[in-house]
Homo-oligomer: A and B are copies of this chain.
Amino acid sequence: MRTLLWIIVICLSCPLAGSDGYALWLGHQLIEDSIVRQDYRAALTFIDGSTGGGEVATTATNELRRGLSELLGVQPLRGPGEAGAHGIYLGLRGRSARLDHYLATADVPDLGSEGYHLVYHDGDVLLLADDEPGLLYGAFDLLRQVQALTDLRSLNRTEQPAYAHRILNHWDNLDGTVERGYAGFSIWNWHQLPEYIDQRYVDYARANASIGINGTVVTNVNANSLIFREDYLDKAKALADIFRPYGIKLYLTARFSSPMELGGLDTADPLDPAVIAWWKEKVEEIYARIPDFGGFLVKANSEGQPGPWEYGRTHAEGANVLADALAPHGGIVVWRAFVYSDEAGRDRFREAYDEFTPLDGRFRNNVLVQIKNGPIDFQPREPVSPLFAAMPRTPLMLELQITKEYLGQGTHLVGLASMYEEVLGTDLRPTEPGGEVHQLISGIAGVSNIGTARNWTGNLFGQADWFAFGRLAWAPQTAAREIFAEWAGLTFGRDPEVIDSITQMLALSYPACVNYMTPLGLHHIMNTGHHYGPGPWIDDLGRADWNPYYYHGATRDSIGFDRTSTGSDALSQYPEGFARRYADPATTPEKFLLWFHRLPWDYELAGGNTLWRELGLRYQLGVEQVGEMADIWSGLEGRIDAERFRHVSQHLAIQQREAEWWRDACLAYFRSVSGRPLPEGVPAPPQTLEEYKALTYPYAPGIRPQW
């Protein structure tokens, strides 16, 4: 008894699983109810793997063992301990007698790459795949089921990822900073690689594999050619070796001018033989170290990055030289379409489409074009880019942002699964099948929100966005609410009221953010540079379309950006079946109104309010919704561990203050322009517009100091 007591005390001294957030959604809480636990134990007494012993399959078995030890409180055996014992059989088709026995009676189709079949059969749990990564994803699925106390007897699922390419993009620089990073700094300790392998690299790979992510780009799209120097390739290899057992491929960003900067050539012209040879040789060097290297992600001729235009070549010509170097090794090029002209044109919205549609079909087979969800830049809400429906002969990657550059950065709780759901489900061809965004793409990339913060994402609830990205990259039609609930249960435990409350908070948070920042289709009105806080008044930057003002153009009479045929006609870039609805403000969904139309303040909306009145009420509603979120959270006190409870409470307090700041500063400004009084129910801003304009935050994170 005494011994028991001292063990209990030690455990109470141990950091609770997950209490600092490091364990993410892999906390694997011990099943508390002893009867339930015993039932699971009896069902899962062993893990029998007939996997051929490859490293990914071994990882699958190890992760299953580790997770089940935590969930059940006992290590599963390595095979049936006694006759009649039940457990888990995992293996590749044709490699396991037990699985073949099952397959003789069940018709399990080809599971393809990374797919798996998880089923309860004759008292055992069977996990079958046609390649090793499938076993790994199946293992994590099974762990989620046990964590959620799913009845094992109900298991009968076949899962295949919707896309082959489910890739994180880190905007991490070699100096350790993270562009648009709000979770501390870069987790890649380049200086001490390849010798020093931080435990975090392994836990990173585990976390990503558990949500089906199979690739990662570890360098910033604002690229640095130094990554191709041989000592850095050795460092990259060390990372690739850690990721490989978790089914994750390493990618790097390729700076287009590398042949000059690193190679000493006097050109980077993609049609120059020396340049072609340089890339070929550099790719060989990479594959000599990393045989399954994923390929290159490239940002070219965008925001000052070098590219083929310097030589009068097209994006396709630029991409193809890299693609040809990679093709013999199975690598791909992901070429970003986030391009806008050096000089402000008619409408930035139009530019990527205008630039890339003529190139459709001109890229090599192993090139994908990566397109941000919307045509401007990751705003809280953007219409989807028309480019998704305009390059039918080119494989496309959707680029989503997980780090919340424009949605409150590190201080706001915003459940991005809601946004991702909207994007993926947007039907660009409503009059025919196959036109939803998730059907138009071959892969998804997410700009990572991961950093050196103990809890990986800085703001704890940023974990939910990372989780959601992974789950949607695998199964893009999953409902946001389902993802919220799943994440809550895995992260905070099984209490259904806790899960429900957190699901509510998350579900409320995205509409709230849009309301208190950019309601009714406002966009790009964040303060400039760091994008922290409001700045709709800013109108003095060197280029028209850098100015927040450009995106709403508010005057005494009206506000909004006309993208119809009377304006920039960006609407014409969409399929007619989609665009038709947006031509008329009366049929335009209110959430996109000011994206496409310029309207008088007195324009009457469907509900009866004027645009002016509705704008003010939406800002106020957003603030109140944050208050609701905070109320829900404080109701969870005592049911969440103290450390995470406090962390979230403190961040919600910041979010409340900042939501009010957004409301107050934006309405102080719009009021000054429109000359109209704030609607009833909207409090007067406590400071003057001049005071809001004078606020500076030179060290807002995620970008170089902004003096």
- Closest B residue by C-beta to A191: B701
Judge whether B410 and A10 touch: CB under 8 Å. no
Partner of A17, one of B14, B191, B698: B14
Judge whether A9 and B190 touch: CB under 8 Å. no
By a beta-carbon cutoff of 8 Å, the part of chain A in contact with chain B is 3-11, 13-15, 17, 20, 30, 69-70, 73-75, 174-176, 184-185, 190-192, 195-197, 199-200, 226, 410-411, 452, 454, 643, 646-647, 650-651, 653-654, 657, 697-701, 704-705
Please name all residues of chain B whose beta carbon is closer than 8 Å to the beta carbon of A11 when the two chains form the complex: 7, 10-11, 14
Please name all residues of chain B whose beta carbon is closer than 8 Å to the beta carbon of A657 when the two chains form the complex: 195
Q: In the complex, what distance in Å separates the CA atom of A213 from the CA atom of B450? A: 34
Please name all residues of chain B whose beta carbon is closer than 8 Å to the beta carbon of A175 when the two chains form the complex: 699, 704-705
Q: In the complex, what distance in Å separates the CA atom of A131 from the CA atom of B446? A: 56
Please name all residues of chain B whose beta carbon is closer than 8 Å to the beta carbon of A176 when the two chains form the complex: 184-185, 699, 701
Partner of A410, one of B3, B5, B192: B192
Shortest CB distance A300–B (Å): 22
Judge whether A13 and B69 touch: CB under 8 Å. yes
Shortest CB distance A19–B (Å): 9
Judge whether B654 and A70 touch: CB under 8 Å. no
Shortest CB distance A210–B (Å): 17
Judge whether A411 and B13 touch: CB under 8 Å. no
Shortest CB distance A246–B (Å): 19
Shortest CB distance A31–B (Å): 10
Q: Kindly list the 9 A-B residue pairs having the minimum CB-CB distance in the complex, ordered from nearest.
A: A6-B73, A14-B14, A196-B650, A185-B185, A195-B654, A174-B699, A175-B699, A7-B7, A195-B653
Q: In the complex, what distance in Å separates the CA atom of A315 from the CA atom of B325? A: 63
Judge whether A654 and B196 touch: CB under 8 Å. yes
Given contacts A11-B7, A30-B6, A452-B452, contact A226 B698 (CB under 8 A): yes
Judge whether A699 and B191 touch: CB under 8 Å. yes
Given contacts A14-B15, A17-B14, A195-B650, contact A4 B5 (CB under 8 A): no
Shortest CB distance A665–B (Å): 16
Please name all residues of chain B whose beta carbon is closer than 8 Å to the beta carbon of A651 when the two chains form the complex: 192, 195-196
- Closest B residue by C-beta to A184: B452
Most B Cβ at <10 Å: residue of A454, A643, A651? A454
- Closest B residue by C-beta to A652: B195
Given contacts A175-B705, A185-B185, A191-B410, contact A73 B700 (CB under 8 A): no
Please name all residues of chain B whose beta carbon is closer than 8 Å to the beta carbon of A646 when the two chains form the complex: 197
Q: In the complex, what distance in Å separates the CA atom of A5 from the CA atom of B410? A: 41
Q: In the complex, what distance in Å separates the CA atom of A10 from the CA atom of B37? A: 14
Given contacts A226-B698, A452-B185, A654-B195, contact A7 B9 (CB under 8 A): no
Please name all residues of chain B whose beta carbon is closer than 8 Å to the beta carbon of A70 when the two chains form the complex: 10, 13
Partner of A654, one of B17, B192, B410: B192
Please name all residues of chain B whose beta carbon is closer than 8 Å to the beta carbon of A184 when the two chains form the complex: 176, 184-185, 452
Contacts A/B (CB < 8 Å), 8 sampled = A14-B17, A20-B199, A174-B698, A190-B699, A195-B657, A196-B650, A196-B651, A226-B698
Most B Cβ at <10 Å: residue of A6, A191, A199? A191
Given contacts A17-B13, A199-B643, A654-B196, contact A8 B6 (CB under 8 A): no
Judge whether B6 and A4 touch: CB under 8 Å. no
Q: In the complex, what distance in Å separates the CA atom of A705 from the CA atom of B224? A: 12
Partner of A3, one of B4, B9, B75, B699: B4
Q: In the complex, what distance in Å separates the CA atom of A9 from the CA atom of B67? A: 12
Judge whether A74 and B5 touch: CB under 8 Å. yes
Partner of A411, one of B192, B199, B704: B192
Please name all residues of chain B whose beta carbon is closer than 8 Å to the beta carbon of A698 when the two chains form the complex: 174, 226
Q: In the complex, what distance in Å separates the CA atom of A304 from the CA atom of B515? A: 47
Q: In the complex, what distance in Å separates the CA atom of A196 from the CA atom of B648? A: 9
- Closest B residue by C-beta to A200: B454
Q: In the complex, what distance in Å separates the CA atom of A643 from the CA atom of B70? A: 20
- Closest B residue by C-beta to A37: B6
- Having A7-B8, A195-B654, A200-B454, one finds 20 other A-B pairs with CB under 8 Å, namely A4-B4, A4-B7, A6-B30, A7-B7, A9-B73, A10-B11, A13-B70, A14-B15, A20-B199, A174-B698, A175-B699, A176-B185, A176-B701, A184-B185, A184-B452, A191-B699, A192-B411, A195-B650, A196-B651, A197-B646
Q: In the complex, what distance in Å separates the CA atom of A548 from the CA atom of B191? A: 23
Q: In the complex, what distance in Å separates the CA atom of A199 from the CA atom of B200? A: 19
Please name all residues of chain B whose beta carbon is closer than 8 Å to the beta carbon of A704 when the two chains form the complex: 175
- Closest B residue by C-beta to A647: B196
- Closest B residue by C-beta to A703: B175
- Closest B residue by C-beta to A196: B650
Please name all residues of chain B whose beta carbon is closer than 8 Å to the beta carbon of A30 when the two chains form the complex: 6, 10
Shortest CB distance A232–B (Å): 10
Please name all residues of chain B whose beta carbon is closer than 8 Å to the beta carbon of A69 when the two chains form the complex: 9, 13
Q: In the complex, what distance in Å separates the CA atom of A698 from the CA atom of B454? A: 27
Shortest CB distance A655–B (Å): 10
Please name all residues of chain B whose beta carbon is closer than 8 Å to the beta carbon of A410 when the two chains form the complex: 191-192
Q: In the complex, what distance in Å separates the CA atom of A654 from the CA atom of B190? A: 13
Please name all residues of chain B whose beta carbon is closer than 8 Å to the beta carbon of A191 when the two chains form the complex: 410-411, 697, 699-701
Q: In the complex, what distance in Å separates the CA atom of A410 from the CA atom of B650? A: 33
Please name all residues of chain B whose beta carbon is closer than 8 Å to the beta carbon of A650 when the two chains form the complex: 195-197
Shortest CB distance A673–B (Å): 28
Shortest CB distance A473–B (Å): 29
Q: In the complex, what distance in Å separates the CA atom of A411 from the CA atom of B193? A: 11
Shortest CB distance A15–B (Å): 7
Q: In the complex, what distance in Å separates the CA atom of A699 from the CA atom of B186? A: 13
Please name all residues of chain B whose beta carbon is closer than 8 Å to the beta carbon of A6 when the two chains form the complex: 30, 73-74
Q: In the complex, what distance in Å separates the CA atom of A225 from the CA atom of B625? A: 37
Please name all residues of chain B whose beta carbon is closer than 8 Å to the beta carbon of A8 when the two chains form the complex: 7
Q: In the complex, what distance in Å separates the CA atom of A513 from the CA atom of B311? A: 51
Q: In the complex, what distance in Å separates the CA atom of A15 from the CA atom of B657? A: 37
- Closest B residue by C-beta to A12: B69
Please name all residues of chain B whose beta carbon is closer than 8 Å to the beta carbon of A7 when the two chains form the complex: 4, 7-8, 11
Q: In the complex, what distance in Å separates the CA atom of A17 from the CA atom of B4? A: 19
Judge whether A9 and B174 touch: CB under 8 Å. no
Q: In the complex, what distance in Å separates the CA atom of A650 from the CA atom of B195? A: 6
Please name all residues of chain B whose beta carbon is closer than 8 Å to the beta carbon of A647 when the two chains form the complex: 196
Q: In the complex, what distance in Å separates the CA atom of A195 from the CA atom of B649? A: 9
Q: In the complex, what distance in Å separates the CA atom of A30 from the CA atom of B9? A: 10
Q: In the complex, what distance in Å separates the CA atom of A424 from the CA atom of B10? A: 41
Judge whether B197 and A10 touch: CB under 8 Å. no
Q: In the complex, what distance in Å separates the CA atom of A219 from the CA atom of B678? A: 43
